[in-house]
Amino acid sequence: MSSSERLAELHSLLHEHAYRYYVLDAPTIADGEYDRLFQELLAIEREHPEWVTPDSPSQRVGGAVLPAFKQVAHRLPMLSLDNAFNEGEIFDFISRATKFLQYDEKIADIACVVEPKLDGLAVELVYIDGLLAEGATRGDGLVGEEITAQLKTIHDIPLRLRQPLAGRLEARGEVFIGKEGFKRLNRQQEEAGKEAFANPRNAAAGSLRQLDASVTASRPLRFFAYALADPGQFDLSGQTAALAFLKQYGLPVNPLSRPCRDTAEVVAAFDDLAARRDDLPYEIDGMVVKVDDLALQRRLGDKSRSPRWAVAWKFPASQATTILTGVEFQVGRTGAVTPVAVLETVALGGVAVSRASLHNEDEIRRKDLHLGDTVLVQRAGDVIPEIVKVITEKRRKNAEPVRMPTVCPSCQAKLAREQGEAALRCGNPLCPAQRRRQLAHFTSKAGLDIEGLGEKSIDQLMTAGLVAGIADLYRLKPEQLAVLDGWGEKSAANVTTAIEAAKQPSLGRFIAAIGIRHVGEVTALALESHFAGLDELAAAGKDELMAIDGIGAEAAASISDFFARGDGRTLLAELRAAGLVVRLPPVKTAGALSGMTVVFTGSLSRLGRDEAKKLVKEHGGQIASDVTQKVTHVVVGDKAGGKLNKARELGKKIVSEEEFLQLIGR
């Protein structure tokens, strides 16, 4: 088979497997096998850059950074929906429609399709001759922003339709972030010192509106299609047929969408969806009810901003007012003190709420909170409830403003706020509250995932005086545990076995588990792929750390501090004494650049920066962002500046772009 034939075959294979994985959620090959096919495709495309097509699976990574978003007019306007808030308003919607159609009073029912209303962002996808040609946001409904590159990074969105289709297909749907993805993303944001997103909707919008699509590619965005801009174009009879059509062409359609013969079925479907809401992996804020029949839709037509044939039946608003009775201050594992509002219990969307997150001192000031204030609280899906605002008119005279404490509520150490930081911090490494949270983090899923040691058990062990720090866990004896309240011989044995099993973590897991400030799972993995072992990492200076891709100044300072500090060293020594051994990372496959660390400076003429970096990694080399001792090669492009001088000073090997390409055999 020629390489062009193989490339075509790889396209089909990768498209098919991505479809099975992302759209059907039923993969038929192992991840490793998929990766191998993908690498093979990349290799052929490297040999023949002229063969790279816009629908190649390699095009999902996001390419050049855009200077600005282009405006695109939608060929047909993207309408919005009217809201209904109860059964009565749904009956009104149906009877308005029947009246408009001048139906007989007795046949007041119209068949509808109901769909979960996802809380994300409406987008339009334009396929031309089966290829994804353009994607855009809804914008004001008439003109949106062109975000093709950003949308291509979403694996649910096919780059090519599953069946040939000549001409133009315009599909519409919702881009969203699931509950898990949202939590993970916010954890990453916080670790990176960035502000957390208020809700999945904002996170999805913020992730799509990135001029650098590689940022979008790193976000857990998903997509469901729910409409064709013009179903009549394909002779479809209605919405049920449109959904089937979308599915047939490979676009993901929400499996919970279903036809209803009459209003009674619509009401039943709503109750059913409301009951399942909390168990869904994504947030929904209601159910969309659409008249199924296209002929009826046409006769009903549109109002200025919304169609007469569809309505959004929203879940009861999960906002309510209550009284702020107090504020508690919780100490996190890195010493950050977080205020938590204590509320008079109030029902929000069917859940009793008595606490709300307040984030930090600035937030308290911004909201101007006083004790005893009447506050508006809201809960969006499973996101922690929050205070929207204070109803100032209801404030009592002489109400005390909420103040942050000056000393740690757990150990009474003086609190300090570092420059540029929102958090007030307890700097005492022996603080019991911090220890508690560190231990809980160490055993949690984000850490070494030791089953049976959740926050409650950790609390119990600390109170019983059995553990004060991480290393103590490894000294626990089953007989010490078995006598505790609620424990028995079996659970004690299970937990000590689980602890024993966690004695040989990988470097990345271990680093993530010990909870160094600014170092989360992502940073920990970057460290793992850079260092040969824990000793090498512990010996690295701030500059060397900073030269690693993905590691910023804060994380670098925090890591080198941790290993230089007495308590960091003591922890490592104690853990070793307790028998903990960090597994060494697997030896990397040799490549033309293995053992080399490369820096790029100046503008390259043949390669993009990202492409160049990717090539280094593919050939077994390391990338650095600055010229340090570790660097072996400095690749110099046009208008190279400071780094070139530094390279000369340090006597590094300086190579041109041409020479670099020769090194990797191109």
Residue 94 Cβ, how far from ligand IVH at the closest point, in Å? 17
289 binds ligand IVH (CB under 6 A): no
Among 13, 125, 227, 461, binds ligand IVH (CB under 6 A): 227
- How many CB atoms neighbour CB 167 within 10 A? 9
Segment contacting ligand IVH by CB under 6 A, of 307-315, 368-376, 386-394, 397-405: 307-315
Q: How far apart are CA 323 and CA 646, in angstroms?
A: 61
- Which residue in 461, 405, 411 sits closest to 434, CA to CA? 411
- How many CB atoms neighbour CB 255 within 10 A? 10
Region 34-93 residues binding ligand IVH, contact defined as CB under 6 A: 79-81
Q: Active-site residue 117, yes or no?
A: yes
Among 14, 94, 266, 310, binds ligand IVH (CB under 6 A): 310
- 3-class secondary-structure state, position 5: helix
Nearer to ligand IVH, 115 or 521 (CB): 115
- Which residue in 602, 639, 611 sits closest to 46, CA to CA? 611
The number of angstroms, rounded, from the C-alpha of 340 to the middle of its chain's C-alpha atoms is 24
Contact at 8 Å (CB) between 573 and 623? no
Contact at 8 Å (CB) between 98 and 108? yes
CA distances from 338 to 358, 375, 572, 612 (A): 7, 19, 28, 43
Helix (H), strand (E) at residue 168: strand 168-177
Residue 278 Cβ, how far from ligand IVH at the closest point, in Å? 18
Contact at 8 Å (CB) between 101 and 327? no
| Closest chain position to ligand IVH (CB) | 122
Q: How far apart are CA 487 and CA 480, in angstroms?
A: 10
Nearer to ligand IVH, 123 or 516 (CB): 123
259 binds ligand IVH (CB under 6 A): no
Region 126-145 residues binding ligand IVH, contact defined as CB under 6 A: 138
Q: How far apart are CA 466 and CA 260, in angstroms?
A: 60
Nearer to ligand IVH, 118 or 598 (CB): 118
- Which residue in 80, 82, 68 sits closest to 142, CA to CA? 80
Region 367-426 residues binding ligand IVH, contact defined as CB under 6 A: none
Residue 288 Cβ, how far from ligand IVH at the closest point, in Å? 4
CA distances from 103 to 97, 98, 592 (A): 9, 5, 76
118 binds ligand IVH (CB under 6 A): yes
331 binds ligand IVH (CB under 6 A): no
Strands 622-623 and 131-137: unpaired
117 binds ligand IVH (CB under 6 A): yes
Nearer to ligand IVH, 251 or 513 (CB): 251
Nearer to ligand IVH, 117 or 425 (CB): 117
Segment contacting ligand IVH by CB under 6 A, of 42-50, 54-62, 112-120, 384-392: 112-120
Which amino acid is located at 578 in the chain?
Answer: A
Nearer to ligand IVH, 255 or 454 (CB): 255
From 70, 99, 106, 117, the catalytic residue: 117
Residue 273 Cβ, how far from ligand IVH at the closest point, in Å? 12
Which residues are part of the catalytic machinery? 117
> Where along the sequence are the contacts to ligand IVH (CB under 6 A)?
79-81, 115, 117-118, 122, 138, 174, 226-227, 288, 307, 310, 312
